[in-house]
Amino acid sequence: MANDQDSAPVAQPNVFDPPARYYALSAYMRREFGGTVRKISVDAHFSCPNIDGTVGRGGCVFCDAASFSPSRQIGLVEIDDQIADGITRLQRRFDAKQFIAYFQPSTNTHAPVDVLERVYRSALRRPEIVGIAIGTRPDACPDPVLDLLATLARETWTTLELGLQSSHDRTLNWLGRGHDYGQFVDATMRARARNLQVGAHVILGLPGETREDVRTTARRLGTLGLHSIKIHHLYVVKGTRLERLWRAGEVALPTLEEYADLVVDFLERLSPETVVERVAGEVGDEYLVAPSWTAIKHAGRNAVDKALRARDSYQGKYYDPERRDPYA
């Protein structure tokens, strides 16, 4: 289809901090807040509709909540205490003075609106907290929740992070996500209509997806006016269905170099105005099964930087602002 073809290369934008070749989160934070800002992972101990039976049970094939979030590793702690602890740790480690409360594990819109408002506002009490980020699923964004977030966005920096992983429904079905790409587009459009900043999470190197499938996901997301993107690689953590499939030889993982090439393909077709929060996932050694390079700090980021230089490429190289997503 014509819509799936790349436009001609465009010149590299001058918005990236040299020698960066993509719009990194650190650069955005400096421009937005005038200095370093760190995210504090906050766990409100909400459930997930793909676990509690609302949508499904058992969760996604890769899911183990504790492995993805530092806050879930320390047990049930009051939000005020999580914020205080996070500020202390990050001040000591990074000399940071500004922080964003990031509701990270599980589905952080999966509760009554009055409960959500109480929880969100409890994380904003400290003056060091300059914003809030809400991680959730695209099928858990009813209008009343988006209205609440729009109210918060008029008071403080607010972003809604939607776990997508892929724009291909066959892949979402394999992952056991319990939603389709159309639901992601719908949630994004309703959120953006309320002037909310929307971020997306994607996984590259998924079983059954070709290089062109990755490019197509990037092209589609490039039409949606996303504020930010988090790019992850597929890694295996202990105790998941994915671990069983990997040990049975039913799932192959890309090498570090193969993954870096996929990331470059993806970035080339993404809007240069979309903030790239990360280019590879992270997980603690106690949870990791494979690939082994996941445990090497900054291995993914360094490999992506190397691949960008080798290909003399950059975010938005093939981005077409006139493209429209026929699947929206």
Residues contacting residue 279 through CB under 8 Å, at least 6 positions apart: 22, 231, 263, 267, 300, 301, 304
Residues contacting residue 328 through CB under 8 Å, at least 6 positions apart: 182, 185, 189, 220, 223, 224
* Spatial distance between the Cα atoms of 25 and 131, rounded to a whole number of angstroms: 15
Taking only Cα atoms into account, the Rg of the chain, rounded to an integer number of angstroms, comes to 19
Of 165-179, 228-242, 311-325, minimum mean pLDDT range: 311-325
pTM recorded for the entire structure: 0.93
What is residue 238's predicted lDDT score, i.e. its pLDDT? Answer: 94
Q: Which fold has domain 2-233+248-280+298-310?
A: TIM Barrel (3.20.20)
- Residues 216-229 as b or e (16 or more Cβ within 10 Å = b): bbbbbbbbbebbbb
Digit-coded pLDDT (tens) for 188-220: 999 999 999 999 999 999 999 999 999 999 999
* Spatial distance between the Cα atoms of 315 and 294, rounded to a whole number of angstroms: 23
Is a pLDDT exceeding 60 seen at residue 66? no
In 3-state terms, what secondary structure has residue 225?
A: coil
Domain spans in the chain, listed from the N-terminal domain onward: 2-233+248-280+298-310
Mean per-residue pLDDT over the chain, rounded: 93
Digit-coded pLDDT (tens) for 145-175: 999 999 999 999 999 999 999 999 999 999 9
